[in-house]
A = this chain, B = another copy of it.
Amino acid sequence: ENNVVTGIACSRDEAKLTLISVADRPGVAAAIFTPLAEAGIIVDMIVQNMSEEGRTDMTFSCPVGDVAKAEAALEAAKARGEFNYRELDKDTDVAKVSIVGVGMRSHAGVAQKMFKNLADDGVNIKVITTSEIKVSVLVDRKYMELTVQSLHDAFDLDRAP
């Protein structure tokens, strides 16, 4: 597991926005990202999980500086009836921390090690998303340095090359 992860990435200038309780019907995701694209919001992460009773939440991240513009664009589209949501949750207190490794054939082992490391530090995971070469989590921003250092140690990344 150790030599599979070759780096830790982090970023603290993103905010997390979640549209709580959107309809799980074709067209809803397109309707949500139309006003965001038109307003020129730079969206990084997009996370949606399975629905329950026909509703689900839609989360995305954008620069902290874009939050007001994103909210205005979404509220205007909602007022025009383009889609509906119960509430827009804005969290500007997040940091994204990722473990990076090209050979992560099975995420289960490296993910478990990453999550266990965060748990041992008492850090709660707000959001998780993965790609072929990364496992990324959103955590409280105050834990970013601690988490990055702790993961460096856990995956033996501190050794000088």
Q: Which residues of A approach B to under 8 Å, CB–CB? A: 16, 18, 20, 24-27, 29-30, 33-34, 36-37, 40-52, 57-60, 89, 91, 105-109, 111-112, 115-116, 118-119, 122-136
Contact = CB atoms under 8 A, between A and B. Distances in A.
B130 A41 contact: no
Q: Report copies per complex.
A: 2
Contacts of A45: 130
Which secondary structure dominates chain A's binding surface?
mixed
Given A47-B47, A108-B37, A30 B127 contact: no
A91 B46 CA distance: 21
Contacts of A25: 124
A131 B128 contact: no
B118 A26 contact: yes
A32 B32 CA distance: 32
Residue from A52, A58, A115 with most neighbouring chain B CB atoms (10 Å): A115
7 contacts: A29-B119, A33-B115, A41-B106, A46-B130, A48-B129, A49-B57, A129-B129
A89 B91 CA distance: 29
A134 to B, nearest CB: 6
